[in-house]
Amino acid sequence: MELTRTYKFKLYRADQNGHLIQQIDIAGIIYNHCIALHRRYYRLFSKGLNKYALMKHLTKLKKLPRHAFWSKVGSQAIQDVVARIDKGYALFFRNLKAKIRTSPPGFKRVKKYASFTLKQAGWKLLGDNRIRIQGRNYKFVKSREIPPAVRTLTVKRDKLGNLWLYFVCQETIQSQATMTGNRAGFDFGMKVFLTDDQGGETLSPLYLKQAQQALCKANRSLSRKRRGSGGWYKAQDRLNKVYLSVVNKRTDWFFKLAHNLTDRFDFLFFEDLSMKGMQALWGRKISDLARSEFMNVLGYVASLKNKTVHLVDRFFPSSKTCSCCGYIHKELTLKDRQWHCVSCGVDHHRDINAAVNILREGSSSLGETAVRLQNERCSLEAAIAISPRIPCL
C-alpha cells in the first residue's frame, strides 16, 4: 500500500539555529509581500493573480538590491510560499461557492510565521543525525530511520522557539493487522466520549480541564509582567508549555484509543456531526473533547491496517429512532437520557440506541448486510444491563 507519511524530528539547540529562524522570518516577509500583490492585482484588474506569473515576478524582485536577502531561503521555499497562498485562495473561493463563511488569506506577523519548505534542492542528509540546509550543518534527534524517498523537507518553529524537521516521505507499507470481521457503531457524547452498540463506554480524560489550575497560574503570572520584557517572554513560554503538554497528552491518548478500536473492529461507523455548531453551544468542552482531531487520527490508523471508518449522515435521526421497531420519537430532547418507545414498548438508553442505529445505517450505506430490526424486547435491555465502562486508556 502506497502511503505518504511525515517524520518529525527535533533540532538540537545551537547558535547557528539562528540562521534557520532568520530564513523563517524572511519567508514570512515574502508571504506578506505576496498577499499585498494579490490584493493590489485584484483591486486593479478584478481577477485573481496567477501563481506562475507571481513566481516569475518574485524571481525578478530577488535580483533587486533591496530584495537580495530573499535568496537566503532558496527559490523552492519562495515557490512554496506562493503555492500556500494560491491554495488558501482556492479554498476560500470553494467555501464561498458552498456558502460557507470564511476569510481569504491575510497578512501574518513575521514572528508568528512558522515554517518554510524545501523540495529537492537546498538540503541534504549527511548521515547519522546530521543535515545540511542552505550550506550549514545541523544536528537533530534521530529517533528512527528516515525512508529514502523523501519528497519535501519543512523546517518549522513552535511557540517555545524549538525548531523541528518534517520529512514527507512516500513509502510502501504492508499491513500486518489481522481482520476480525467485527463491526461497531459509535455515538459521540458530552459526558461519555464514545458509546458503542454493545453498551461499552469510553470516557475522555479531559486534559484541558485537568490543566485548568496550571493554566490559571501561568496566565496570572503573564498578566503581571510588562509586555515585551524579558520576564513577559519567560512567562509566555511557561504558558505555552502547559498548552503543549495538553496537546501531547491528548494526541497520545487518541492514538492509543484508535489502535484499540481498529484492533477490535474492521468496520467502524460514526455520525457526521457539526462540531462548529456544537462548539457554539458548549464551547470549551467541545474543544477539550476534540472529536475532529480524534477522527483524523482514527482515519490515519485505520488506513494503515486496512480498516474502514465510515460516517453516517448528520441528519439521520439516530437518537430519536427506535432500534427495535423504527418508530421516530420526534419530541425527544437532549435532556432525555432514557426514553420509552410507545410503539413497541422497549425502554431505550439514548446513546446505546443511537449507536445501534448508526451501525445499522452505516452497514446499509456501505452495501453490507444490514442488521435487521429486532422486535424482541431483550436485545437492548440486555445491552444496558451488561454495559461495561471502558476506562481512559
Write the DSSP symbol of residue 50.
Answer: P
**257 near 211, Cβ under 8 Å?**
no
Among the three residues 121, 137, 172, which one is the final residue of a domain in this structure?
Answer: 172
Mean pLDDT computed over 346-372: 76
Does residue 117 contact residue 74 with C-beta atoms inside 8 Å?
no
Boundary of a domain, candidates 172, 201, 225: 172
Q: What is the pLDDT confidence band of residue 382, given thresholds at 50, 70 and 90? A: very low
Residue at which a domain ends, from 172, 207, 234: 172
Segments of 145-207 assigned E as strands? 150-157, 163-172, 183-188, 194-196, 201-202
Q: Give the count of beta carbons closer than 10 Å to the beta carbon of residue 182.
A: 10
pLDDT exceeds cutoff 80 at 207: yes
Asked if the structure places residue 355 within a domain, the reply is yes
Q: Do residues 217 and 127 both lie within one domain?
A: no
Question: Are 158 and 130 part of one and the same domain?
Answer: yes
Q: How many domains does the chain have?
A: 2
58 occurs within a structural domain? yes
Q: Are 270 and 126 in the same domain?
A: no
> Distance of CA 371 to CAs 183, 239, 311, Å?
11, 50, 17
pLDDT digits (tens, 9 = 90+) for 152-165: 999 999 988 899 99
127/149 Cα distance (integer angstroms): 15
The tally of CA atoms less than 13 A away on the side-chain side of residue 374 is: 15
**Is 379 part of a structural domain of the chain?**
yes
CB-count exposure of residue 126 (10 Å: 0-12, 13-18, 19+): exposed
**What's the rounded Cα separation, in Å, for the pair 289 and 275?**
11
Query: Of the given ranges (49-53, 122-126, 176-180), which has the lowest mean pLDDT?
Result: 176-180
Same domain, 159 and 190: no
Asked if the model's pLDDT at residue 384 lies above 50, the reply is no
Q: Which residue has the cell 496570572?
A: 220
Calculated CA dihedral for residues 142, 147, 151, 153, nearest 10 degrees: 0
- Calculate mean pLDDT across residues 258-277: 87
* Max intra-chain CA distance, the chain: 82
* 261 and 233 within one domain: yes
Tell me the Cα Rg of the chain. 26
For residue 191, tell me if it sits in a domain: yes
Taking residue 169's Cβ as centre, other Cβ atoms within 10 Å add up to 16
Q: Who has greater pLDDT, 382 or 32?
A: 32
Under 8 Å between Cβ of 103 and 12:
no
- pLDDT mean over 11-19: 93
Provide the CA 205 distance to its chain's centre, in angstroms: 18
Would you say residue 57 has pLDDT above 70?
A: yes
Q: Specify the pLDDT at position 368.
A: 57
Question: What are the φ and ψ backbone dihedral angles of 269, each rounded to 5 degrees?
Answer: -115, 130
Give the mean pLDDT of the chain.
86
Does 251 reside within a domain? yes
One domain for residues 262 and 166? no
Give, as one character, the DSSP assignment of residue 140. B
Do residues 319 and 338 share a domain? yes
**Do 205 and 253 touch, CB atoms closer than 8 A?**
yes
How many whole angstroms separate alpha carbon 78 and alpha carbon 151? 17
In a domain, 177, yes or no: no
* 211 and 192 part of one domain: yes
**Do residues 334 and 253 both lie within one domain?**
yes
Contact 222, 232 (CB under 8 A): yes
| Comparison of pLDDT for 381 and 368, the residue scoring more | 368
- Asked if residue 265 is part of any domain, the answer here is yes
Per-residue confidence (pLDDT) for residue 391, from 0 to 100: 40
Q: Which three cell numbers stand for residue 165?
A: 524537521
Domain that holds residue 375: 183-390
Residue 139 and residue 274 share a domain? no
Task: At 129, list the grid cell.
Answer: 543525525
Is residue 178 in some structural domain? no
pTM listed for this prediction: 0.81
Same domain, 133 and 213: no
Q: Are residues 223 and 94 in the same domain?
A: no
Measured from the Cβ of residue 343, the count of other Cβ atoms closer than 10 Å reads 12
